[in-house]
A and B are shown apart, each in its own frame.
Chain A
Amino acid sequence: MNEITIKELLYKIADDQLILGHRNSEWTGFGPLLEEDIAFSSMAQDKVGQSQAMYQLLHELGEAEPDTVAFMRNEDQFHNCQLTELPNGEYDFSLIRHFLFDFAYAIRFEMLANSSYEPLAKLSKKIQGELRYHTMHANTWIKQLGSATEESISRLQNSLNEAMPYSLGIFEPSPYEAELKSEGIFEGEEVLKEKWLAKITDVINQTQLQMPDISTLTPKYGGRKGKHTEHLQPLLDEMAEVFRIDPTADW
């Protein structure tokens, strides 16, 4: 097994989880109702915890400590898709992003639970269970708000249209697709995307929302190669503000 291949896979997963977890945590104290403050915080804790576990796998492959990796890199060293770094916006955008992302990740971890790379398969099995609550949460809210009032439907529709090209960026192909597949590590982004499309289309069809025609959209790629929107570096600066006062200190 080629380590570069597996590291590339682990980094993008870990970075996705960390950055979106961080964004979710920004809802604490600002949610549209207390229950949603709490829900977004739960999901934030799960995601940040999952990213830490992924960085730990990387550490076991010779990368630096999870804290160093998370708190000391700059944007061009991050491999998260751009969807995760976009600001929270209004609740409708955060909800749509949560829906699109968590369905993709629920399927990703389901696939990785069968990975030939044992440590990843084991961790994915555990994460799968946590994600089930996230997709259930997304499902309930999309169905409710996607069929409730004129305002809620149009807000969700606009956010869905806006988020869709970015969510296609989740599936930006890796340079190692063939190898990941042939070694039985991961079936690949294309397979994941097809499964995801079927799932989210199914949920959307149970609401008054319209699924955007994705054949007309240009996916927002680049994140996997370290190309980001203007929103990532400020997020990282904020995240590392205290840590970088003295990276060798024990906080």
Chain B
Amino acid sequence: MISFMPSEEQSVMKETLAKLVQNTIKDNAHDMDEKRIIPQEFIAKFRELGTVQSPIPEEYGGFGLAASPIMNTIILEELAAGDMGYAIACTLPSIFINPILECGTDKQKEKYLPALASGECEATLAINEMHFKFDAASPKTTAEKKGGKYILNGEKCYVPLADVAKYFLVAARCENENCLFIVEGGTPGLVIGEREKNLGLNTLSTYKVTFSSCEIPEENKLCGAEGYDRLLQKTRIAMSALGTGVSRASFEYARNYAKERVQFGEPIAHRQAIAFMIAEMAYEVDAMRLMTWKAASALEAGRDAKRESYLAKLYAGEMTMKITDYGVQILGGHGYIREHPVERYYRNGRCIACLEGLAIV
């Protein structure tokens, strides 16, 4: 039955994460951004909840609970309302786990899932590439089959936690098809570059990763076009959940500020020029969330969500900028100063349209 209301379980998750954010990063987000770091214990606090392991079958050390794309959007929004880099770092293993669960062979599951279930290692996705007109739907990185091996060539960027990741999921073209390959850290030909300096997401460490004649065994191919398409759908929904989170944070901050900031003898919120921006922020945040839920609902029902996920990400890309821009504008000059978080939301928000594949549902 159609419903716009979270279940008990969904509400509890939202509240739990809101508290977690409050108790960990809330007062530290500014410093974390300046120092470009997320304290490990903050990530550990999230991982303790077990949401990352939850869909892994019990035989591989997980909880064997059905994966819920909708629940994952709730998690991502809530974390991103604290800090988007934090949201990406916390949930990063899922970006490797979920595709393995969906298209992995038994052998692949056996090999990779136990270590991820126990939380002893990180895994990441290499999908973005640093060139004009980058399109996740046609990566330039290539994989060539030779003998019993694939040989990968290409350059990836914005690969989160590449410095510590044990496993990389890599998006590459192979025989005119989009494919995903598993590359283990330390494989010859896999070169981790310097940590990147970006417009936003400063808390998250991201890296350039180069594949130069990087050889991997044949059995490391995870999937072809179909699985790749599913990955795009799931990551696009996740990106719109992240956009919803950061936009909501900007909206809430600006709303509270507008009620307190007095100019010309009364709070600026009493002026329509400000109040109408805030009204628009409110319903656009809701619209973004509903589009995200709509796409996730299709996945949850076992349907294809190609169209819905594409539109959700496109919408979130546009609206996140509009809303976070309003956020800065409502604070005026004060919004331009790094003491207030709205400039950070504005910088972070740009990634929704620029990048792909930073999180998954």
**Physical interaction between A and B:** no
